[in-house]
Amino acid sequence: MSTLIDVAEGASDSERQHRTPLLPHPSSPSPPPPDPRDEAAPEIAPETPPGDDDGRGARSPSSDRRLASLDVFRGLTVALMILVDDAGGAFPAINHSPWFGVTLADFVMPFFLFGVGVSVGLVFKKISSKPLATRKVIIRTLKLFLLGLLLQGGYFHGRNQLTYGVDVGKIRWLGVLQRISIGYFLASISEIWLVSNISVDSTLAFLRKYYIQWTMAILLCALYMGMVYGLYIPDWEYQAVGMSFSSNQSSLQNVYCKTRGSLEPPCNAVGFVDRHLLGENHLYQRPVYRRSKECSVNSPDYGPLPANSPGWCLAPFDPEGVLSSLMAAVTCFVGLQYGHILVHVKSHGQRMLFWSMLSLPLLLSGYVLEILGIPLCKPLYTPSYMCITSGVSGLVLTVVFYLVDVKHWRMPTVFLQWMGMNALIIFALAACELFPAAMQGFYWRSPENNLVDIAERLLQGAFHSKKWGTLVFVMLEILFWGCVAGFLHMKRLYVRL
Q: What is the pLDDT of residues 406-456, one digit of tens each?
A: 999 988 899 999 999 999 889 888 877 888 877 878 888 888 888 888 888
- Residue 242: what pLDDT? 58
Q: Which residue would you say has higher pLDDT here, 54 or 354?
A: 354
Task: Please state, in angstroms and rounded to a whole number, the distance separating the CA atoms of residues 311 and 303.
Answer: 16
φ/ψ (deg, to 5) at 212: -65, -35
Give the pLDDT band (50/70/90) at residue 45. very low
- Estimate the crossing angle of helix 130-152 against helix 176-193, to 10 degrees: 170
Average confidence (pLDDT) over 391-405: 96
- Residue 244: what pLDDT? 52
Residues 6+ apart with CB under 8 A from 101: 375, 376, 377
Give the pLDDT band (50/70/90) at residue 66. confident
Residues 6+ apart with CB under 8 A from 218: none
Give the pLDDT band (50/70/90) at residue 139. very high
- Residue 10: what pLDDT? 36
- On whether the CB atoms of residues 332 and 114 are closer than 8 A, the answer is yes
**Which pairing describes strands 232-233 and 259-260: parallel, antiparallel, or unpaired?**
antiparallel
In the predicted model, is pLDDT for residue 46 greater than 50?
A: no
Give the pLDDT band (50/70/90) at residue 69. very high
- Residue 129: what pLDDT? 87
**Which pairing describes strands 259-260 and 236-241: parallel, antiparallel, or unpaired?**
unpaired
- Residue 317: what pLDDT? 95
Task: Please state, in angstroms and rounded to a whole number, the distance separating the CA atoms of residues 59 and 242.
Answer: 55
Q: Of 37-46, 59-68, 441-450, 471-480, where does mean pLDDT reach its minimum?
A: 37-46
Q: Which residue would you say has higher pLDDT here, 335 or 44?
A: 335
CA angle centred on 219, ends 216 and 220, rounded to 5°? 90
Q: What is the pLDDT of residues 183-235, one digit of tens each?
A: 999 999 999 999 888 888 888 989 999 999 999 999 999 999 999 999 999 99
In the predicted model, is pLDDT for residue 21 greater than 70?
A: no
Task: Please state, in angstroms and rounded to a whole number, the distance separating the CA atoms of residues 61 and 79.
Answer: 32
Task: Please state, in angstroms and rounded to a whole number, the distance separating the CA atoms of residues 459 and 353.
Answer: 45
Q: What is the pLDDT of residues 331-357, one digit of tens each?
A: 999 999 999 999 999 899 999 999 999
In the predicted model, is pLDDT for residue 24 greater than 60?
A: no
- On whether the CB atoms of residues 272 and 255 are closer than 8 A, the answer is no
In the predicted model, is pLDDT for residue 11 greater than 60?
A: no
Task: Please state, in angstroms and rounded to a whole number, the distance separating the CA atoms of residues 196 and 212.
Answer: 8
Count other Cβ atoms within 10 Å, centred on residue 436.
Answer: 20
Give the pLDDT band (50/70/90) at residue 145. very high
Task: Please state, in angstroms and rounded to a whole number, the distance separating the CA atoms of residues 344 and 328.
Answer: 26
Secondary structure tally for the chain: helices H, strands E:
15, 4
Q: What is the pLDDT of residues 264-318, one digit of tens each?
A: 999 999 999 999 999 999 999 888 999 999 999 988 888 889 988 898 999 999 9
Q: What is the mean pLDDT of the chain?
A: 84
Burial of 320 (C-beta count, 10 Å sphere; 0-12/13-18/19+): buried
Give the pLDDT band (50/70/90) at residue 249. low
- Residue 477: what pLDDT? 92
Give the pLDDT band (50/70/90) at residue 496. confident
